[in-house]
A and B are shown apart, each in its own frame.
Chain A
Amino acid sequence: MASAATPVNENRPAWLRDNHLFQAWLVLMLAIIFGTCLAAVHINLSDRIAENKLNESLERIPGLIWNEGQGGTSVDIVSGKIVVKKEDRTLYYPVFKVTDEGKLAGWVVKAAGQGYSGSIELLLGLNPAGDIISGLFILEQTETPGLGNKITFPDWLDQFPGQGTKAPLMVVKGGQTPPGAIDAITGATISSKSVVGIVNRAVSETRGLLTPEHIQFVERSQ
């Protein structure tokens, strides 16, 4: 292959043969072709990917506001974010405002925090006044399979709806749970405490801010 190509190169002037850019003409050409392909892929798929990302949360939201089967008739969800100013830093909570036939039905706050291994991301549903939890869903977690990942199971998450948010939720062990307390999962107390901690922090930091004035709403693209 190399021997076949050499005579052709010999005929070219020396300045052209020694030029690095000329030597790399194949690389440059491939780069242009591949760049065009990637641009086409990007134009065709980027909207769809962004939509997927948003839908992941949106799909869950009705279930966090209403119990099964009681969903509203014409639900509208608007997403935005709450800016929480603390003494030395600013925090952001993505938040979804859920309305049903134009009437406020509730709020869903996305919150994240440290679990036993890795971070936990969850969606917290609240009633319009923001004082009662209406639902909880774990979006992402990397807890130990078989122990910590029980935080994603409905029978544990079902303890949250109906709890008030006036006082922070407590974690208790041993099955008997008074109101305001959550039963820890056997063998995964830290994971349970992490989830309750994230919920408590999200509730206390967004307290009083769940009103349309405090939220920067994202404009819908269409």
Chain B
Amino acid sequence: MANLPTPLERFVQGILPENPVYRQFLGLCPTLAVTNGLKPALTMALAVGFVLLCANVIISLIRSLLKPHLRIVIFTLTIATFVTIVDRVLAAYMYQMSKTLGPYIPLIIVNCIIICRCEVCASRQSVTAAAADAVGQSIGFGLALVSIAVVREILGTGMLAGYQVLPDAWPDWVIMVLPPGAFLTFGLLMALVNWIDAIRTEKNTGRG
């Protein structure tokens, strides 16, 4: 197990170097669907973070009991349970938000990020590493969601989290809060990430 990353490495990796959205292309459904405003995006990131943390910790605790052919069944069962809990808690305490997010909360069950982290990290490493990994990946996921949501909400409505930030004269780019805006914003941001990345590698190789 010497070659597996330490908890700290796991934590840092999740945020940028192995960002689940921009690098691993995982969990794209919520990334596109709930980013027409900052508030739903943040709620979604928190919900995914909670489920990921709980699932990672539990899988890591029982990792020595897992049998290879029943592994996926146990992952799915754990994830589905916590998603149901999140869904009910949202419906009970944040009713409007749970209506806005609608089916995308239950769709966390099939969010590839969680099952992928259970497989890659939690079923092999200690609880500390699994928890650190979950927190890191959730922050990475949250950052990606927020980056898209901020662009879409400001351009689409001139507001951020419900507060006016652009002058009233701003003609709302309605297309940004509609489905096509999600694809366009995400595509452009991904190109930006690739571009910055290319510049950085060029610099590094030039120096080396």
Contacts and interface: CB of A to CB of B under 8 A. Distances in A.
Interface stretch (B85-93, B108-116, B137-145, B198-206): B85-93
B62 A26 contact: yes
A27 B74 contact: yes
Contacts of B63: 1
A41 B68 contact: no
| Chain B interface residue bracket vs A | 20 to 34
Interface string A30-52: 11001001100110011011001
A41 B74 contact: no
Nearest to B85: A41
B8 interface: no
Interface in B75-128: 77-78, 81, 84-85, 88-89, 91-93, 95
Interface in B149-184: 156-157, 172, 174, 177-178
Contacts of B95: 49, 52-53, 56
A14 interface: no
B106 to A, nearest CB: 14
Interface string B3-47: 000000000000000000000000000000000000000000000
Nearest to A146: B174
B170 to A, nearest CB: 12
| Chain A interface residue bracket vs B | 20 to 34
B70 A24 contact: yes
Nearest to A2: B68
The prevalent SS among residues of A at the interface is: helix
Nearest to A47: B92
A218 interface: no
A26 B81 contact: no
Contact of A41 (B84, B156, B172): B84
A146 B177 CA distance: 10
B172 A38 contact: no
Contacts of A31: 77
Contact of B91 (A2, A23, A52): A52
A14 B62 CA distance: 25
Interface of A: 1-2, 4-5, 23-24, 26-27, 30-31, 34, 37-38, 41-42, 45-46, 48-49, 52-53, 56, 144-147
Given A26-B66, A49-B88, A145-B177, 10 more contacts: A1-B63, A5-B64, A26-B74, A27-B74, A30-B77, A31-B77, A45-B89, A49-B95, A56-B95, A144-B174
11 contacts: A2-B68, A4-B64, A23-B70, A26-B70, A27-B77, A38-B84, A41-B85, A41-B89, A45-B92, A49-B92, A147-B174
